[in-house]
């Protein structure tokens, strides 16, 4: 599975990754022998119907939940549950900004935890506040911000650690279409500059096509690898105009067909 | 015409005046009703509660207030014109209104502080340790189901008639309020908030300081208002059972000497103290919880 096609090395390798929830008679298979790899600087989208285990895969990659079988290697090192590595950043689906901290203190959290001196920390925070367009809201509490702004704070809180690998679990799932597009723009802008290796979980095909180099379609429960599509659109991309090109529509319907079978299976199971 | 607020205030003032008038002159009606014994059917219409013996009268309460507060002497003359003056009057009565109020407030403050402090510490420890929570659960349930007031005589027996027994009484009440809230809060810390910190390399200790304590404190701050009023209740009860000084002492003494006016003075001072404390703690709470929706200016 670690074949190298365009010269870049594999940073993440999944080997027969399996997750079974519960024990004894009540075992529920969630992820079934999924294998793929993600190369240096690649933007990979994991897509599938809800309950297909895509978030479970991401959680296992981050070491948040234990693996039942198989393995995950990040830079040839096995991921061990509960021992996070600083080079991996994680953005949650839920709003996880700390409500009791201001925007500034939320973004600076990671540096604070790693005992970075205050002056350096503040300079770094200012840079990210600027980049996320949160200027003027540095000392606001999250309760006063919109959902989109809160998710930008989340993203910046992760990016301040300068992770080489970004794991994103449906980070824009709860946002309205317009805000979502704004976030796509921001994310593409950042990624074009820093070229992190990204695994992005979503159930929004348009979003996957806009952002990623490769789309991995997972089957309905238990999650198995169904099909892998390359997304050959040129970079840098414009999150809005890209959607109007015929290539986008063509690839959209092709993947939609593959995905559609899985969504139907999910709804048939009810 | 008055605005809506104006009308609210109008009726409030009217109601107050009405209460004071009935209080001051309500007994005149009673006296008229029983004045003529032959028309005894009128006796049935008297309102016993309006007797000054039970409720005193505003002017008598005011006079006692001035006297207990060392503003005037027992004949109603201003104390400043007397020998010894204000200081002499204060020294002459150890349980004067000022000393009593200060003693009650001081013990309320300490009971509150000790109760909140210990409640938070124990709540955090048991909330974050399932093992300890299980070990202590039956003891806490048993102790908590005991009406706290029943403990007061024992506390007075153990700690005497001084401040310690009042602080202890407030403590046994406040502790449980704060403990249960902290315990709940410590158990309901958002797992993802902990994960966020862990993924950034936080140690156990850092997770405690940056996630567990701040998110639990929200639950603590939310009960500061009841904690403070229960601390005051605890102190007053402590003073009822056995004390040398305090507003509760004035009340219980007034009951023994049938001095309703003295009791009313202490009750009014307590009312003012209670309102003052509530306003203060609410401001503190609004500041500490300014990041929560109900206290946020913009939300």
What are the structural domains of chain A? 1-87+176-270 (3.40.50.300), 96-162 (no CATH)
How confident is the model over B218-263, as pLDDT tens digits?
899 989 999 999 999 999 999 999 899 999 999 999 999 999 999 9
Least confident of A113-127, A196-210, A226-240, B110-124: A226-240
Note the pLDDT of residue A257.
87
Query: Strand A77-78's sheet: what is its strand order?
Result: A28-39, A10-21, A69-74, A77-78
CB atoms within 10 A of CB B49: 9
CA distances from A91 to A55, A58, A105, B69, B197 (A): 11, 10, 17, 64, 12
Beta strand A43-47 with A214-218: parallel, antiparallel or unpaired?
A: parallel
**What is the structure's pLDDT at B299?**
37
Residues whose CB is less than 8 angstroms from the CB of residue B99 and which lie 6 or more positions away in sequence, other chains included: B90, B93, B245
Task: Give the C-alpha separation, B30 to B50, whole Å.
Answer: 8
Q: Quick one: how far is CA A11 from the chain centroid? A: 15
Average pLDDT rounded to a whole number, residues A167-180: 90
C-alpha–C-alpha distance, residues B52 and B31, integer Å: 11
Check CB contact of A112 with chain B, cutoff 8 Å: yes
Comparing CA positions, the residue from A40, A25, A48, A23 lying closest to residue A165 is: A40
Min Cα distance A75 → chain B (Å) is 17
Q: What is the ipTM of this complex?
A: 0.87
Cα A62 from Cα A89, distance rounded (Å): 8
- A88: closest CA among A201, A227, A199? A199
What percentage of residues in chain A have a pLDDT greater than 90? 54
The packing angle between helices B247-257 and B97-128, to 10°, is 120
DSSP string, A152-214: HHHHHHHHTT--SEEEEESTTTTS-HHHHHHHHHHHHHHHHHH--EEEEEES-HHHHHHH-SE
Report the range of poorest mean pLDDT among A23-27, A79-83, A162-166, B38-42: B38-42
Question: Is the predicted pLDDT of residue A269 greater than 80, yes or no?
Answer: no
Respond yes or no on whether the N-terminal peptide bond of residue A35 is cis (omega within 30° of 0): no
Distance from the Cα of B284 to chain A's closest Cα (Å) equals 16
Q: How many CB atoms lie within 10 A of CB A192?
A: 11
The region of weakest confidence among A55-69, A141-155, B85-99, B270-284 is B85-99
In this predicted structure, the answer to whether residue B86 has a pLDDT above a threshold of 50 is yes
Q: What pLDDT is recorded for position B27?
A: 86
pLDDT of B298 higher than 50: no
Q: How far is A228 from chain B (nearest CA, A)?
A: 29
Q: How far is A34 from chain B (nearest CA, A)?
A: 24
Query: pLDDT at residue B102 above 80?
Result: yes
Domains of chain B and CATH, by start: 1-55 (no CATH), 97-295 (1.10.3720.10)
A56 phi and psi angles, rounded to 5 deg: -60, -45
Q: Which residue has the higher pLDDT, A169 or B89?
A: A169
pLDDT tens-digit map of A207-246: 999 999 999 998 888 888 888 999 988 888 888 888 889 9
Dist CA A83 CA A64 (whole Å): 9
For residue B298, which residues of chain A lie inside 8 Å, CB to CB? 143-144
B1: number of Cβ within 10 Å: 4
Chain A residues touching B286 at Cβ < 8 A: none
Which pLDDT does position B76 carry in this prediction?
Answer: 80
Predicted confidence (pLDDT) at residue B121 exceeds the cutoff of 70: yes
Indicate the pLDDT class of residue A1, thresholds 50, 70 and 90: very low
- Nearest by CB: B299 against A86, A92, A143: A143
Q: Which residue has the tokens 């799932």?
A: A173
pLDDT, residue A3, reads 46
Contact A217, A255 (CB under 8 A): yes
Tell which residue, A58, A11, A50, has the closest CA to residue A34: A58
Round to whole Å and give the CA distance between B116 and B72: 40
What's the rounded mean pLDDT across residues A53-68?
A: 91
> What whole-number distance in Å separates Cα of residue A259 and Cα of residue A78?
31
Q: Tell whether B191 lies on the interface with A, counting CB pairs under 8 A.
A: no
Which residues on A lie below 8 Å from B197 (Cβ)?
109, 113
Candidate from B206, B215, B296 with C-beta closest to A113: B206
Residue A152 token pair: 């930008």
What mean pLDDT comes out for the span A111-133? 92
**Mean pLDDT within A21-43:** 87
Per-residue confidence (pLDDT) for residue B40, from 0 to 100: 67
Distances (CA, A) of B227 to A9, B109, B188, B222: 61, 11, 21, 10
- Average pLDDT taken over every residue of chain A: 88
Question: What is the mean pLDDT of the segment spanning A110-134?
Answer: 92
DSSP A86-124: TTEEEE-SS--S-TTS-HHHHHTHHHHHTT--HHHHHHH
Average pLDDT over residues A78-104: 90
Angstrom distance (rounded) from CA A109 to CA B195: 13
pLDDT in tens, B282-296: 999 988 888 887 676
A161 contacts in chain B (CB < 8 Å): 200
Give the closest-approach CA distance of B115 to chain A in angstroms: 24
Answer yes or no: is pLDDT of A4 > 80. no
Closest Cα partner for B185 from B220, B211, B209?
A: B220
List Cα–Cα distances, B202 to A61, A103, A105, B148, in angstroms: 18, 19, 15, 42
| Environment class of B22 (CB within 10 Å of its CB; exposed 0-12, middle 13-18, buried 19+) | middle
Q: Is A268's pLDDT higher than 90?
A: no
Cβ–Cβ below 8 Å for B214 and A98: yes
Look at residue B38 in the predicted model and tell me its pLDDT: 61
Give chain B's mean pLDDT.
Answer: 90
Q: Which has the closest alpha carbon to A91: A20, A191, A214, A17? A: A191
CB of B197 within 8 Å of a chain A CB? The answer is yes
């Amino acid at each position: 599975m670690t074949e190298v096609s365009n010269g870049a090395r594999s940073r993440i390798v999944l080997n027969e990754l399996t997750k079974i929830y519960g024990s004894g008679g009540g075992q529920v298979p969630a992820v079934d022998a999924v294998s793929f790899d993600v190369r240096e600087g690649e933007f990979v989208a994991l897509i599938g119907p809800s309950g297909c285990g895509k978030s479970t895969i991401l959680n296992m990659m981050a070491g948040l939940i234990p693996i039942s079988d198989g393995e995950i290697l990040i830079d040839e090192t096995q991921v061990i549950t509960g021992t996070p590595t600083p080079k991996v950043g994680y953005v949650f689906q839920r709003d996880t900004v700390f409500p009791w901290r201001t925007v500034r203190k939320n973004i600076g959290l990671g540096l604070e935890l790693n005992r970075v001196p205050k002056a350096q920390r503040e300079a770094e925070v200012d840079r990210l506040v600027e980049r996320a367009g949160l200027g003027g809201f540095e000392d606001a509490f999250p309760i006063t911000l919109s959902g989109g702004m809160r998710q930008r704070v989340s993203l910046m809180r992760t990016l301040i650690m300068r992770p080489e690998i970004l794991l994103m679990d449906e980070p824009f799932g709860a946002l309205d279409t317009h805000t979502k597009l704004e976030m796509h723009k921001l994310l593409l802008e950042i990624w074009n500059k820093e070229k992190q290796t990204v695994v992005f979980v979503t159930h929004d095909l348009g979003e996957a096509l806009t952002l990623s180099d490769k789309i991995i379609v997972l089957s309905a429960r238990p999650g198995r690898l169904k099909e892998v599509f390359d997304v050959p659109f040129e970079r840098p991309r414009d999150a809005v105009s890209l959607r109007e090109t015929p290539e986008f529509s063509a690839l959209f319907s092709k993947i939609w067909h593959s995905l559609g079978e899985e969504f139907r299976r999910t709804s048939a199971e009810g | 015409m008055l605005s809506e607020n104006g009308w609210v205030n109008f009726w409030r003032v009217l109601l107050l005046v009405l209460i004071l008038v009935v209080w001051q002159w309500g007994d005149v009606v009673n006296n008229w009703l029983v004045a003529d014994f032959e028309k005894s059917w009128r006796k049935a219409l008297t309102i016993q509660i309006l007797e000054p013996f039970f409720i005193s009268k505003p002017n008598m309460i005011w006079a006692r207030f001035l006297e207990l507060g060392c503003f005037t002497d027992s004949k109603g003359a201003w104390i400043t014109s007397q020998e010894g003056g204000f200081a002499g009057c204060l020294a002459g009565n150890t349980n004067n209104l000022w000393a009593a109020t200060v003693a009650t407030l001081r013990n309320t403050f300490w009971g509150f502080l000790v109760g909140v402090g210990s409640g938070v510490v124990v709540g955090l420890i048991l909330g974050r340790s399932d093992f300890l929570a299980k070990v202590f659960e039956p003891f806490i349930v048993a102790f908590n189901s005991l009406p706290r007031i029943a403990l007061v005589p024992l506390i007075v027996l153990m700690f005497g008639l001084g401040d310690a027994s009042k602080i202890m009484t407030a403590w046994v009440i406040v502790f449980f309020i704060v403990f249960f809230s902290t315990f709940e809060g410590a158990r309901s810390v958002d797992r993802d908030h902990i994960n966020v910190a862990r993924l950034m390399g936080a140690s156990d200790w850092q997770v405690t300081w940056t996630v567990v304590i701040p998110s639990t404190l929200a639950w603590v701050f939310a009960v500061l208002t009841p904690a403070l009023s229960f601390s005051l209740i605890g102190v007053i009860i402590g003073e009822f059972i056995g004390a040398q000084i305090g507003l509760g002492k004035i009340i219980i003494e007034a009951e023994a000497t049938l001095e309703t006016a003295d009791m009313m003075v202490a009750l009014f001072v307590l009312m003012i103290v209670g309102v003052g404390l509530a306003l203060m703690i609410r401001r503190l709470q609004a500041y500490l919880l300014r990041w929560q929706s109900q206290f946020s200016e913009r939300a």
